[in-house]
Amino acid sequence: MRSFMAATGTGTIPASSSSHILFSSISQRRHYPLLPWGNPTHSTAPTSAASFRYRTTPRPAAVVTPPTTKTTDVGSERSEKREFYPIEHLTTWLLKHEQSGDIDAELTIVLSSISLACKQIASLLQRSSITNLTGAHGTINIQGEDQKKLDVISNELFCSCLRSSGRTGIIASEEEDVPVAVEETYSGNYIVVFDPIDGSANIDTALTTGSIFGIYGPDKQCLVDLDDDSPLDEAKERCIISVCQPGSNLLAAGYCLYSSSVVFTLSIGKGVFAFTLDPTYGEFVLTHENIQIPKTGKTYSFNEGNYDLWDEKLKNYLDHLRQPGPSGKSYSGRYIGCLVGEIHRMLLRGGIYGNPDNKYSKNGNLRLLYECAPMSYLVEQAGGKATDGRQRILDITPSEVHQRTPIFIGSAEEVEKLEKYLA
């Protein structure tokens, strides 16, 4: 058995597998030194076995004090240095907003179940090469795209977590032909739309991928037999109509980035917050509070391999970005091939991302319902803009679940500049 010495140099206490909990507060460690078992008090006598006196009455409960600060003089300036930093987990953050009335208990459970699915997907991605989860699955989804193995598995994980929450009524996914009714619903009946793996072409090369989700308000359940071979009946059509809502109706939206860090970014209509997964104990920790996208940026992200297929007005805009500005520098081109990665960088650094229509893809390549609308919701909550070149993305009502749309999204002033070129 491992042991560690008390602060006084005498006595030991057994080491715990969760020893980080014992040291979670520096102030507590400072004011309450480690002592041997028996609830002793520490005297000011020289260190010895006799320097520990055992209480006959219970120790009073520790008083939790707010973080302390030290004020130091640096030249003519005064600066404050925090001695320790509080840690807020995603679960705590959700419960706090539930108590304040921003969300209800059912939505808290739905968001928690989504975060659990993201943790499981992150684990699978990290071990995908080891466990032979790379490569194609051998099937094609309704959009005519080859499915990766992790596309299928991640979709099942999302659906399983949402079903087990008991608060989801309808699920619509990129990997499902039609919306899926959830029979295991106890209450809530939220509509959840998602892309389980965005940028799945990056999986085999261990590059950035992500998950995207959006949550709409409760609706009546569509408990129908969704047989792929049967034509849509009236009940199924009602199910699809319930799902096909404009992004302005979203109650919450977010994404999970799988890269050097696993970052769960979320908005419930009160700003944008990002939580980074701490792998030591498997919890999302608040790391970016109330994100505000810069009004301008010096980065653009377009797949310029399609340059010759684009409209002349868009070409003129890109030619403008390549020209040196007043500082003598032009914009920097960055393209990840994953919408989640593009938006995450943009939220923190500013710039503009575009996936326009072209001669062969008249409606662009991205899906409106579960890719463009949730991302546009997040960017607008952070102070940015999103448009299809003619109207605001969040004002578009989908006519079908897998409808595609062009999108230009990013810093407000950068999108406005683009709109002038496209007008």
Cβ-proximal residues to 127 (8 Å cutoff; 6+ apart), any chain: 133
CATH number at residue 319: 3.40.190.80
One domain, residues 308 and 274: no
3-class state of residue 2 by DSSP: coil
Q: What is the pLDDT along the chain (423 residues), one digit of tens a residue?
A: 444 444 444 444 444 444 343 334 434 444 444 444 444 444 444 444 444 444 444 544 444 445 555 555 544 445 555 555 578 999 999 999 999 999 999 999 999 999 999 999 999 999 988 988 887 766 776 666 767 889 999 999 999 999 999 999 899 999 888 888 787 767 778 999 999 999 999 999 999 999 999 999 986 555 444 445 555 566 667 777 789 999 999 999 999 999 999 999 999 999 999 999 999 989 999 999 999 999 999 999 999 999 999 999 999 999 999 998 887 788 999 999 999 999 999 999 999 999 999 988 889 999 999 999 999 999 999 999 999 999 999 999 999 999 999 999 999 999 999 999 999
The last residue of a domain, from among 290, 318, 337: 290
Domain end marker among 290, 315, 336: 290
Answer yes or no: do 322 and 275 share one domain.
no
Provide the pLDDT for residue 260.
Answer: 94
Same domain, 208 and 337: no
Quote the domain boundaries for residue 183.
90-290
DSSP codes, 324-386: --TTS--PEE---S-HHHHHHHHHHH--EEEE---SS-TT-SEEIIIIIHHHHHHHHHTT-EE
96 residue type, one letter? K
Say if 62 falls within a structural domain.
no
Nearest to 301 by CA among 379, 356, 353, 337: 353
Q: Report the pLDDT value the prediction gives residue 331, as an integer from 0 to 100.
A: 94
Residue at 211 is within a domain: yes
How far apart are the C-alpha atoms of 286 and 317, rounded to whole Å? Answer: 37
Same domain flag for 127 and 102? yes
- The answer as to whether 74 is a domain residue is no
Overall size of the chain counted in residues = 423
Residue 308 has, within 13 A of its CA and on its CB side, a CA count of 1
User: Under 8 Å CB-to-CB from 279, ≥6 apart: which residues?
Assistant: none
pTM of the model: 0.77
C-beta pairs of 266-272 under 8 Å, 24+ apart in sequence: 266/90, 266/111, 267/377, 267/378, 267/381, 267/382, 268/97, 268/102, 268/103, 268/107, 269/102, 269/381, 270/97, 270/102, 271/381, 271/382, 272/347, 272/378, 272/381, 272/382
In a domain, 69, yes or no: no
Does any domain span residue 20? no
pLDDT value of residue 51: 42
User: Which pLDDT score, from 0 to 100, does residue 334 have?
Assistant: 94
> Collapsing DSSP states into helix, strand and coil, what is residue 322?
helix
| Domain count across the chain | 2
